[in-house]
Amino acid sequence: MKERLQQQLEEAIRALLAEAGDAGEIPAVALEIPRQKEHGDFACNAALLLAKRLGRKPREIAEALVEALGDAGGLVDRAEVAGPGFVNLWLAGDRWRDVLRGILEVGRSYGGSDEGAGVRVQVEFVSANPTGPLSTGHGRQAVLGDCIARLLEFRGFDVTREYYFNNGGRQMRVLGQSVKARYLEALGVAAPPPAAVLADPEKSWVDEVGGLPVQFPADGYQGDYIVELAEALCAEHGDALVGEPAEAIFREVAEKQIFAGIRATLDALGIHFDVYSNEKTLYDEGKLDAVLEDLRAVDLIYESEGAVWLRGTTLGLDRDRVMIRSSGEPTYLLPDIAYHREKMERGFDVVVDVMGADHIDQFPFVREAMSALGYDAGRIEMVMHQFVTLTRAGRKVKQSTRKATIVTADDLLEEVGGDVFRFFMIERRADGHLDFDLDLATERNWNKNPAYYVQYAVARTHGIERTAADAGLAMPGADDFDADRLNLPEELEVMKKLGEFPELVARAAAAREPHHLAYYLRDLAGLWNPYLQDGTRHRVVSDDAGRTAARLGLVLAVRTVLTNGLALLGIAAPERM
RNA sequence: GCGCCGGUAGCUCAGCUGGAUAGAGCACCAGGCUUCGAACCUGGGGGUCGGGGGUUCGAGUCCCUCCCGGCGUGCCA
């Protein structure tokens, strides 16, 4: 619809330019839906853009444009010049109604496209290391990444969801040590670390067991989940593991169990990854050494103070960074670079890295290193998101790692449910902070909750279908009704909104900004729920068979769009609530 | 100090490549259920779009500058 109008418009502009002896390019005119509906269905600013170039008054040009456009091949009912020189266009009424047929014909794929056909995209997200349960921030990232993936799939891209984690480095050793210390504590052979030690990250705690020192690491993991892991080991193995090194069974069991917990959380959110990658594999396959050699070959590596450094300054960055510590252990940077090289080698056309604000510092180094290694770093995108804060009873919920007052993604999920969790997490732009309002999310009067508001709009369409079925009526097919019977202004409003959906999806996908969907759905439901409220003026199932069929068509179209939109957010579209 | 991200109604936030009179939810006030679903709806009050300058026919949107907040600036993760 809009495309056709745009085409007509450009032709008219071309004609206008030709008349003035101007054979240049036509400007990128905006054809947009005005905020005020008194300004028509579409408004065009072409005359304003051309004024200087043609040396004529904008309104004059606008008049000429209106004349040249005519009825735009039957699309336009009325056109007028307004304000400083806008051309406001009113579409012929039946053109809006075409939207309904279009929706019913394609149904579930309305809003989708094949623009991404043959393009392989990897979306990497969550990527939390298996050292503890997912935080609310990870929860946000999980929903964000999944929704981006869903959007891209809907636009025809070949999407791989991937989770990468570091399991080879120092933090996993600390994890093993933490579990072992708690294990000995559970056995009763070691004392728990004093509170003063736990409160000070610089201090470590040492106890003697069988003449050997056992240490709770200074930066050990303090969460209750570590204690629980240790107690489970104690119950299963008794004291048989006392002589085992922390790096062996303790570390392995912890990684396995914690990772299982993470996957359970993701499962509960309906999020499934295609590929799990980890640092250890890269290490075992020699990928870390290889990347180091190749970076050395282009003179980006040097040694200093016993550590191996990447020359960030040569790459145009503000500093150099350590790749391998003087202890011999790599930092995160080296495996990250090796991992991204793998992404390139695996042939993805586009790589989207979703990451929290605290990780973005690393990104330019990875990107520039890719470039230096001869890859097209332009294929690598970053989507950054800020943190999540919780508000309960009008106050910020204080969270502290040290005091173990962390609210996990699981806690939150249990409290509000998956649909609300997803809606609230995706509702805001990723690059702003997210204030998760628990009062609103757990509101007993569900009507205040925007997630339910949209779902309710869907449920009502099913209620109408049930009523229709009771009257012996089936939902109509695309050609089974006369859309001209829908001529109330509020019906046209709904149809216009439905018509915007494909462009909205395209924009959200291209910009990797799923939050637009949440607002769109809220808006559409905000037209639809009031429409249904007026049961006399807008009664769908009535004695008027023709109008009933047309309105059932509208009901089905609205449901289709709401359902498609909710699916892109991973939220259920219920038949009843 | 430097870098990134924010600052829009009492609160939480939308605002597409610059467009006309800046929107929504919550909160607050006043109303509405013999209704295909009231988990809903109708109406109302409420704004120096952080401050200042600039570009433009036109700026919440672009540029400069300052202020405020978050994050980063580790041989932490």
User: SS3 letters for A274-341?
Assistant: CEEEEHHHHHHCCHHHHHHHHHHHCCCEEEECCEEEECCCCCCCCCCEEEECCCCCECCHHHHHHHHH
How far: A271 CA to B36 C1' (Å)? 36
Q: Which nucleotide is nearest to A307 (CA to C1')?
A: B75
pLDDT at residue A576 is higher than 80: yes
Element (H, E) at A377: none
Spatial separation of the C-alpha atoms in residues A183 and A250, rounded to whole Å? 9
pLDDT at residue A444 is higher than 90: no
| Strand B footprint nucleotides (protein C-beta < 7 Å) | 2-7, 12-17, 19-27, 32, 35-42, 57-58, 70-77
Cα torsion A543, A545, A547, A549 to 10°: value is 130
Q: What is the mean pLDDT of residues A389-398?
A: 85
Q: What percent of chain A has pLDDT over 70?
A: 95
pLDDT at residue A218 is higher than 90: no
How far: A446 CA to B32 C1' (Å)? 19
pLDDT at residue A145 is higher than 80: yes
pLDDT at residue A211 is higher than 80: no
- From the list A163, A166, A162, A161, the residue with the least C-alpha distance to A130 is A166
Q: Which nucleotide is nearest to A356 (CA to C1')?
A: B71
Residue nearest to nucleotide B39 (CA to C1'): A447
How far: A318 CA to B2 C1' (Å)? 9
- CATH code for residues A2-91: 3.30.1360.70
How far: A181 CA to B21 C1' (Å)? 68
Element (H, E) at A237: helix A224-237
pLDDT tens column, A54-100: 888 888 888 988 988 888 888 888 888 988 889 998 888 667 888 99
Both tokens of A428, joined, read 């805001």
pLDDT at residue A160 is higher than 80: yes
Q: Which nucleotide is nearest to A88 (CA to C1')?
A: B20
pLDDT at A495: 93
pLDDT at A480: 93
Pick the CATH number of A120-166+270-385 from 3.65.10.10, 3.40.50.450, 3.40.50.620, 3.40.1160.10: 3.40.50.620
ipTM of the complex: 0.94
A287 to each of A184, A307, A340, A368, A369, how far by Cα in Å? 37, 19, 11, 18, 15
Which positions ≥6 away from A256 have C-beta within 8 Å? Answer: none
Pick the CATH number of A97-113+446-568 from 3.40.50.9100, 3.40.225.10, 1.10.3210.10, 1.10.730.10: 1.10.730.10
Q: Which nucleotide is nearest to A40 (CA to C1')?
A: B20
Cα angle for residues A193, A195, A198 (degrees, 5° grid): 70
For β-strands A395-396 and A388-392, DSSP reports them as: antiparallel
How far: A322 CA to B74 C1' (Å)? 10
pLDDT at A447: 66
Q: What is the mean pLDDT of residues A549-557?
A: 96
- Tell me the β-bridge partners of A354: A383
Q: What is the mean pLDDT of residues A30-50?
A: 84
Spatial separation of the C-alpha atoms in residues A473 and A467, rounded to whole Å? 9
pLDDT at residue A207 is higher than 80: no
pLDDT tens column, A290-340: 999 999 999 999 999 999 999 999 998 889 999 999 999 899 999 999 999
CB A231 within 8 A of CB A103: no
Spatial separation of the C-alpha atoms in residues A146 and A426, rounded to whole Å? 10
How far: A569 CA to B38 C1' (Å)? 27
pLDDT tens column, A457-471: 999 999 999 999 999
Compute CA A197 distance to the chain's CA centroid, rounded to the nearest angstrom.
40
Left if phi > 0, otherwise alpha if psi is -120 to 50, otherwise beta: which for A501?
alpha
Where does CATH 3.30.1360.70 sit in chain A? 2-91
CB A566 within 8 A of CB A505: no
Where does CATH 3.40.50.620 sit in chain A? 120-166+270-385
Global pTM exceeds 0.90: yes
Q: What is the mean pLDDT of residues A100-117?
A: 95
- According to DSSP, residue A139 is labeled H
Spatial separation of the C-alpha atoms in residues A117 and A155, rounded to whole Å? 8
pLDDT tens column, A490-537: 898 899 999 999 999 999 999 999 999 999 999 999 999 999 998 888
- pLDDT range class, residue A12, cuts 50, 70, 90: confident
